[in-house]
Chain A
Amino acid sequence: MTPFVDIAFLILSFFIMATKFKPPEPVEITTPGSVLSQKLPENNAVMISIDSSNKVYFSVLSENAPEKYTTIINGINTSQNLGLSPAQIANFRKTFMVGVPFSGLKELLSTDAKDQPKLNQPGIPVLDTLNNQLFWWIRESKSAFAGEKLNYLIKGDGKSKYPVFEAVISALKRNEEFKYNLVTALDDIPSGTELYIKERAGEKDLKK
């Protein structure tokens, strides 16, 4: 039995070391599948999440450059005249997702990051074309990451409706951004299709 146990513990230690825990997300989002196996960027990205009840959330992914968080929230604070306190601004760094209109931002940022998932966030207003607040979030992120590559991740729940997605796209378009990454789960390539044949032939470039 000894070799057997040895191997078992070897596997165990491998998995313990290889596993990276994701931070708990305040909203549950089940992404649809796609056949593309591109990796998700973890830095220099903003993530726009749409949950199953069509609420829109905004989050910044910038672990390598934490000062960007401050730049973005300061920009929002100034452009929207929110009058946030320095403590509230500092709390934005820990806030995992923003899903409130500007009027509710003060309350969200006054809440400790641990208790934020308990708040019932109404989502960022996007459907009203005159008051598409996501536009401002993207604008500030864009200026904070000026000169660097910024990825726009859209993570939508499979059940969310198309008009919300369209409103998110229009907020990005208004910022002159036309390239997005949709977050998906990995699906198998259906056999017999053109892509399947191409993959088998060893052609790696899936794009045009």
Chain B
Amino acid sequence: MASIDTGGGDGGHKKGPGVKKAKKLSTRVDMTPMVDLGFLLITFFVFTATMSTPTTLDLNMPKDIKDQKEQTEVKESSVLSIMLGKNDQIYYYEGKLTESGDNFKQTTFKGIRDIIINKKKEVISRYVTDPECEAKAKAEGKPISNCADKDFVVIIKPSPEATYKNTVDILDEMTINQVRTYAMVKIFDQEFELIKATEAGGGIK
């Protein structure tokens, strides 16, 4: 900007002797502090704007049914029971828990995904074409594949020592793996005893 001729001044006509040329002042302002402040504010607002984005996870609970006859029956072979213990430990068994409890296994949140996926695959592989369900799915505009895993049920049983985070994580795992039917129920005493025994054996405090 310094090189730009601002006009006036020493243009064409000469001024007489003794007439001093007015000193030209620079029109530039030092912008550095302003820019500093600007960026400080930008960083502040960028952080505060993205930090809080709460979302919600839907949870539907069933009505408590007292009458045994009204309860939904599920196929034993396609049930996966997941129990949440303390210290982010997961215990699970497939089908029905045996008397001796030898199908009671332990895993973590890292391992549970594969177990759910494998169980789901197993249930789908055993699927025998159900024309009634497929016709219904077609009528409702849903994919027929929904029928193949309709029997697959996950039962979630958080123990009193499980945290809320564990509960949300496992519900999230249902969404991630597209488990359509799952239920959250109270843990049985036998299962809680087994968890305690495993914890004592594995040194989990």
Q: Which chain A residues have a beta carbon within 8 Å of chain B's beta carbons?
A: 1, 5, 8-9, 11-12, 15-16, 18-19, 21-22, 31-41, 50, 153-166, 169, 172-173, 178-187, 189-190, 193-196, 198, 206-208
Give the contacting residue for B178; candidates A9, A11, A15, A198; CB below 8 A.
A198
Count residues of chain B with CB under 8 A from any CB of chain A: 48
Report Cα–Cα, A186/B172, bound state, in Å.
11
- The answer to whether A15 and B168 touch across the interface, beta carbons within 8 angstroms, is no
Which of B4-12, B96-104, B155-163 contacts its partner?
Answer: B155-163
Report Cα–Cα, A164/B162, bound state, in Å.
11
> Mask for B53-64, Cβ within 8 A of A = 1, else 0?
111111111111
Q: Which chain B residues have a beta carbon within 8 Å of chain A's beta carbons?
A: 31, 34-35, 38-39, 41-42, 45-46, 48-49, 52-64, 84, 113, 117, 146, 158-169, 171-172, 175-178, 180, 186
User: Can you list 14 A-B contacts with CB-CB less than 8 angstroms, sorted by A residue number?
Assistant: A1-B35, A16-B41, A37-B55, A38-B56, A156-B164, A159-B165, A162-B161, A162-B162, A165-B167, A178-B61, A179-B58, A184-B54, A186-B53, A194-B178
Give the contacting residue for A162; candidates B52, B146, B166; CB below 8 A.
B166
Q: Majority SS of interface residues in chain A? A: mixed
Give B90 Cβ to nearest chain A Cβ, in Å.
Answer: 13
- The answer to whether B57 and A34 touch across the interface, beta carbons within 8 angstroms, is yes
Give the contacting residue for B55; candidates A22, A40, A156, A173; CB below 8 A.
A40
Give A81 Cβ to nearest chain B Cβ, in Å.
Answer: 30
Report Cα–Cα, A178/B41, bound state, in Å.
45
- The answer to whether B38 and A5 touch across the interface, beta carbons within 8 angstroms, is yes
Contacts of A5 in B (CB 8 A): 31, 34-35, 38
- Please name the residue on chain A nearest to B52 by beta carbon: A22
Give the contacting residue for A169; candidates B46, B61, B163, B177; CB below 8 A.
B61
- Please name the residue on chain A nearest to B59 by beta carbon: A180
- Please name the residue on chain B nearest to A208 by beta carbon: B180
Knowing A36-B175, A182-B168, A193-B177, the reply to whether A15 touches B49 (Cβ < 8 A) is yes
